[in-house]
Amino acid sequence: MTTTFGAVPGTEGRTPESDGGSSGGPRTVDTWLGGGAVLATVHDPGSAATTGVVICPPLGYEYAVAYRTLRHLADRIAETAALPVVRFDYPGLGDSTAELTLESFEAGPRLAAEALRRAGCAGVVYLGLGSGALVAAAAAARDPESRGLALWDPAASGRQWLRRQRSLYAIEVGPDAEQAPDGVVMIAGAELPDAVAARIAALDYDPTVAERLPTLLAVRQGPSGTVPKALRTVADRLDLVEVPGHEDSLDMSSITASIPAQSVASVAEWFAARFGAGEGDGPSGVEFTAPDPEDRVTFVHDGLPLEERLVRVGPHRLFAVETRPAAGPEDLPVVVLHNGSAEHRVGASRHQVELARRLATRGIRALRVDRRGTGESGAVTPDEPSLLFTREWLEDGRDVVAGLGLPRERIGIAGMCVGGWVGLVGTPDSVAFVAALSLNDHRVRPQEPRPTGVVAPVAPTDAAPVGRADRLVAVAKRRLPYRILLAAASRGRIRFAEPNLRRALAAGTDVLVLIGPEDVAVFEEHGGRKAVERLRGLPGTLTMVERPTGDHALYSPAIRRAAIDETVALAERAFGIGADDRR
């Protein structure tokens, strides 16, 4: 049963999405599969079914962008076609406790399919989005009991996809990025061992699958929506449809990406037409029985036994993963981890997963939280607003801390970008420390929720002002006295580094700010150098770590590992954990 921290009275024991999903929608069950190899979510339509659907997610950063889209799609398939659906993380990626190996892209779909079959499904349809379409096609080809295949905005081939992702990584991290470690291929959002990268590059589509199974090919509208080369010989056997909206989905950042609602509807309708009630192998009176949730898993990390628990936190029942030593008291000190942007609890290149497990080896609990509108928290709707830098996220941060029931001396916060802002602004006097990683926004007042894709930009640096108002602010920051700028910043008129830092430090909260070159430029433009001088002598300690290289998103390995190392060291100091306290 999913554990609850600080829950609304009467919600204990309810299934996770009974309060987070859409009203009247499918029941969902979050559960570990394969002894922790896969964290999965089962969408139960609450009706008879002999066919189930396995959704193979895309790889790397595409998965972070598409996470909410895949949740919405799974709901729509369960509602429209009355078919059970399983979403999952590949072993070694996402929340998985396993290692990334050559078998990861076979094991993930297999474990998901086995869960459906144990629950009563005789056959499985595999669906893949983007690079996940390559994985889904391979799974359908291997599975003799597969009943169909859906390729949704598919990658052209494994080799072409990997080449593009490596190029995007180079563009994202810039010319000063660190070299990749030996034996590793870097892409945006993942580090791939050479052998795993070679396995991805070798993935392609088997045309014989389309000859024996119903196969949907849902491509983008216009010239970009082409049939993959390997499938052109069987194009007449495909259910080919053009779907809109993917230019604003996979190709965008998680801040501005939107759910392609029409595309989701088209795919769900295909499942209803091909596999729904009364169609072919559709539901025929066999009741689907969703698995009992396995909400805890024990595994070995860095030679030590750890446990991860699926929990719900606070009045909005935010989804979170708690990582802790496998043995020890329940009230160990805890670090709450808030991810950046509008991304879920895993973090860029899994930095939050690695950080949580490093903390647990030091006898410190970690709680990786999905704020509202991210990951598994809150209902998913195509028109859901952006909650970036909003009051709602500040409330979420406060609710999580309040629900822990611990004194502030035993609580810390580590947040990337907006996650650090949530800690500094939301709970400046309720925790022992805040680690603000890649902090680049120093607004004092939250903004209002905005329509999807419309987000107030981070205040520009001198070198790159945006618009006349921004140019005026940049000039004012250079010419007006500091005290006037500080007064304006304290009233939320401009963004300045000192107010948020001062509030936390004055309350006795230690603060770590770790930033790379592009965020250093923002910090300096926002009066950061002067602020550091003025903030000395306050009850809390300010630690500034400025990295000479590295990107804001923490894709490049050296800055990401520095962020983890500095946060662990800060937690050890705050909680009085010495070198001999390794659990």
Considering only CA atoms, which of 151, 131, 156 is closest in space to residue 141? 151
- Give the C-alpha separation, 323 to 353, whole Å: 9
- State how many domains the chain has: 2
Tell me, yes or no, whether 298 lies in a domain: no
Per DSSP, 204 falls in state -
Same domain (yes/no): 204, 255:
yes
pLDDT at residue 205, as a whole number: 98
CA nearest neighbour of 143 among 235, 53, 222? 53
* One domain for residues 326 and 267: no
User: Do residues 322 and 226 share a domain?
Assistant: no
Q: Quote the tokens at residue 502.
A: 């001062």
Residue 70's pLDDT is what?
97
The amino acid sitting at 246 is: H
Whether residues 317 and 250 fall in one domain: no
Same-domain status, 225 and 334: no
- The C-alpha atoms of residue 510 and residue 514 are separated, in whole angstroms, by 13
Residue owning tokens 């390729």 = 151
Quote the distance between the C-alpha of residue 494 and its chain's center: 30
Of 275, 293, 327, the one marking the end of a domain is: 275
Q: With 0-12 CB in 10 A as exposed, 13-18 as middle and 19+ as buried, what is 463?
A: exposed
Q: Tell me the DSSP string of 285-342.
A: SPBP-PPPP--EEEEEETTEEEEEEEEEETTTTEEEEEEEESSS-TT--EEEEE-STT
Angstrom distances, CA of residue 241 to CA of 70, 151, 236, 248, 324: 19, 11, 12, 18, 47
**Looking at the structure, do residues 108 and 146 belong to the same domain, yes or no?**
yes
Q: How far apart are CA 110 and CA 303, in angstroms?
A: 28
Q: Determine the pLDDT at residue 11.
A: 32
As beta bridge partners, residue 31 has: 40
Residue 477, in any domain of the structure? no
Strand bridging mode 190-193 / 184-187: antiparallel
* 370, 304, 510, 345: CA torsion to nearest 10: -10
Helices (H), strands (E): how many in the chain? 17, 20
Strand positions, DSSP E, 393-471? 411-416, 433-437
Q: How far apart are the first and last CA of the chain?
A: 27
Q: Does 79 map to a domain?
A: yes
d(C-alpha 28, C-alpha 90), whole Å: 19
* Residue 182, domain extent: 31-275
Pairing of strands 411-416, 433-437: parallel
Exposure on the CB side of residue 425, measured as CA atoms within 13 A: 27
| 56 belongs to a structural domain | yes
Flag whether 346 is in a domain: yes
Sorted by sequence, the CB contacts under 8 Å of residue 494 that are 6+ apart come out as: 459, 473, 476, 477, 485, 488
Task: Report the pLDDT value the prediction gives residue 125, as an integer from 0 to 100.
Answer: 98
Indicate if 260 and 326 belong to the same structural domain: no
Q: Do 194 and 81 reside in the same domain of the chain?
A: yes
- Asked if residue 466 is part of any domain, the answer here is no
DSSP string of 160-185, one letter each residue:
HHHHHHHHHHHHHH-TTPPPPPTTEE
Does the residue 67 lie in any domain?
Answer: yes
CB 538 within 8 A of CB 507: no
What distance in Å separates the CA atoms of residue 63 and residue 538, rounded to the nearest whole number? Answer: 42
Nearest to 382 by CA among 260, 250, 267: 260
Neighbours of 260 (CB within 10 A): 26
CATH number at residue 443: 3.40.50.1820
13 domain-assigned: no
Last residue of a domain, one of 235, 253, 275: 275
Same domain, 143 and 265: yes
Residue 225: predicted pLDDT: 77
E strands, 326-416, where? 334-338, 365-369, 411-416
CB 510 within 8 A of CB 570: yes
For residue 296, give both structure tokens. Answer: 């805890």
Phi–psi pair at 495, nearest 5 degrees: -100, 130
Q: Which residues pair with 297 in a beta bridge?
A: 308
DSSP β-ladder status, 85-88 and 51-56: parallel
d(CA 117, CA 50): 9
C-alpha distances out from residue 364 to 118, 254, 582, Å = 37, 30, 10
C-alpha–C-alpha distance, residues 376 and 95, integer Å: 13
Could you give the CA distance from residue 526 to residue 474 in angstroms, rounded to a whole number?
9
Residues 37 and 136 in one domain: yes
Round to whole Å and give the CA distance between 431 and 444: 19
Based on the domain organization, do 117 and 224 belong to the same domain?
yes
| Phi, psi angle pair for 134, to nearest 5° | -65, -40
Ordered per-residue pLDDT tens for the chain, 583 residues: 344 444 433 333 333 443 334 444 689 999 999 999 999 999 999 888 899 999 999 999 999 999 999 999 999 999 999 999 999 999 999 999 999 999 999 999 999 999 999 999 999 999 999 999 999 999 999 999 999 999 999 999 999 999 999 999 998 888 766 777 889 999 999 999 999 999 999 999 999 999 999 999 999 988 777 899 999 999 999 999 999 888 778 888 888 889 999 999 999 999 999 998 655 444 454 678 888 899 999 999 999 999 999 999 999 999 999 999 999 898 999 999 999 999 999 998 999 999 999 999 999 999 999 999 999 999 999 999 999 999 999 999 999 999 999 999 999 999 999 999 999 999 999 999 999 999 999 999 999 998 875 545 544 443 344 455 556 666 666 667 788 877 877 777 788 899 999 999 999 999 999 999 999 999 998 999 999 999 999 999 999 999 999 999 999 999 999 999 999 999 999 999 986 665 5
pLDDT of residue 277: 66
Residues 322, 178 share a domain: no
> Is the overall model pTM greater than 0.95, yes or no?
no
